[in-house]
Amino acid sequence: MRNTNLLRSLPAVALVGTLGIALLGVANPADSHFSTTAMKPLLQSIADAEAVQPNATGSVKQLAAELQKDELTIGDQLATISGYYNINVDTTMPKGNGDASAFVANQERSLGQLVGLFKQESSAGGAGQLRAYAAEALPILEKDLAAVKAAH
């Protein structure tokens, strides 16, 4: 009797599993490229913000602290969601550049690249959670990019 009930529930389990995959999406090579490519400038931004803070003053110091906080959050969540899809991202922190005069220009370049990557993933990503996360993180990156441009 129990085996019969188990066999009857197998189609339901298969349907739920298929529905889950359809809703969450399946990671494709573009998703893997997004995760690994986006993580590099995120980590560099964090490292540079950390390195520049002791030497920076005023608005640059405050900007560095805000960018570091935002990019740490975005990077942590990106690594977690990528791991869910078995996308291995390197989270090794690079050496930061502590040059306060180059900080804003470097951040503008990195954030511009990140905004482009996150826009692309949010509109064309295959993995549902990555696509949704890219759309959620995009306004934060755009806000940070606007703050960097205003600091120029």
Tens-place pLDDT, residues 78-120: 999 999 999 999 999 999 999 988 999 999 999 999 999 999 9
Q: For residue 101, give both structure tokens.
A: 């005069």
| pLDDT tens-digit readout, 25-58 | 677 888 999 999 999 999 999 999 999 999 888 8
Return d(Cα 101, Cα 6) in angstroms, integer.
67
Q: How far is CA 92 from CA 41, 126, 133, in A?
A: 12, 26, 22
Architecture of domain 27-151: Up-down Bundle (1.20)
Q: What is the DSSP string of 55-89?
A: T--HHHHHHHHHHHHHHHHHHHHHHHHHHHTT---
